[in-house]
Amino acid sequence: MKNDLCIEAVGKRFGAVQALNDVSLNIRPGELFGLIGPDGAGKTTLLRLLTGLLSLDEGGITVAGHALPQELGVVRSLVGYMPQRFSLYPDLSVVENLLFFARLFRVPSDQRHTRMQRLLRFSKLEPFTRRRAQALSGGMKQKLALSCILMHTPQVLLLDEPTTGVDPVSRREFWKILRELRNDGVTLLVTTPYMDEAEQCDRIAFLHQGTIIVEGDPRRLPDSYPAPLVEIRCTDVVRAAQILQDSGAAESVQIFGDRLHVVMTSEAHTSEPLREILRKRGIAVETIRQVDAAIEDLFVHLIRSHP
């Protein structure tokens, strides 16, 4: 089965707000695709369009060869959708939630048990089968939610910020599960506001204010970064950022925790002038070195150049 996703020139508006504008994506069968973007970029809207929860204003969508909205019923039986908010029943146990989804998707009763056991093993929820969903930790809840939508073995998975509010260890574990599913041939479209999760994907697209501004392999995308990038470790990063910003020697300055990422103006060839500027204002520079841009830098740059 060709379980791909075709999104062509999709537009959606809510009243005066253009939530999505001319969005086109081709997600290949068996691909783990990341849709990255800040809150309000339109990620959830796109997933809701893909599940027919919202209707299209412009453009077309086909899921595994079935067009929306004409073949909504077929699409819904093929797709597993995990909304952003935890939407299982808190007063039902792990097993009861799984069985609910099995019945909802008409999983034949002779297969329910084996599938459930497999998913419980897969998500490491076996010891908690009788626990109510409300008593699970954030990470376990997300794994249960994923297991529930896997009960009907969907060929396409749409996950809306599945790792938001989940601790770092569980997040890594969750992504491991997603990669395993990808290896089994499932097509996954995952949204996330976390830049570091982008690198876990085969391909990513960056959505900003309803428009896709860049798309590609997360390992190669940063190479397209246009200017030299310098990382500075120093005291008082906040004041240092301000000083460099005002000095005119830097195109832009970003604070990353205890470090600064400085985009040099294109005519600058070394980072030495920066050290000098900071030293004059009484800021001690620990290290200063040219670095390769990360995805995060690219996105920040793209957002700036996209008014």
* Residues at the site binding another protein, with contacts judged by CB under 8 A: 48, 51-55, 73, 76-77, 79, 81-83, 85-89, 91-92, 96, 100-106
In the complex with another protein, which residue's Cβ is closer, 35 or 157? Answer: 157
Least separation, in Å, of the C-beta of 233 and another protein? 43
Q: From CA 115, how far away is CA 177, in angstroms rounded?
A: 16
Convert 214-246 to b/e letters by CB count within 10 Å (16 or more is b). Answer: bbeebeebbeebebbbbbbbbeebeebbebbee
Tell the smallest beta-carbon distance from residue 220 to another protein (Å): 34
CA distances from 32 to 26, 70, 99, 210 (A): 12, 26, 27, 21
CA 119 to chain centre: 23
Q: How many CB atoms lie within 10 A of CB 146?
A: 21
As measured in angstroms, the least distance from the Cβ of 166 to another protein is 17
Whichever of 136 and 295 has its CB closer to another protein, that residue is 136
Judged by beta carbon, residue 89 or residue 256, the one nearer another protein is: 89
Q: Which two tokens stand for residue 290?
A: 């040219």
| Tokens (6 digits) for 82 | 């995990």
**Could you tell me the smallest distance in angstroms from the CB atom of residue 92 to another protein?**
6
CB of 53 to another protein, least distance (A): 5
Is the Cβ–Cβ distance between 280 and 244 less than 8 Å? no
* Residue placing its CB nearer to another protein in the complex, 48 or 301: 48
Contacts (Cβ under 8 Å, ≥6 apart) of 182: 30, 31, 32, 188, 202
Nearest Cα to Cα of residue 153 among 192, 101, 93: 101
Residues whose CB falls within 8 Å of the CB of residue 186, separated by 6 or more in sequence, listed in order? 3, 30, 154, 155, 156, 157
Least spacing, CB of residue 296 vs another protein, in Å:
30
Nearer to another protein, 59 or 273 (CB): 59
Nearest residue (CB) to another protein, 96 versus 236:
96
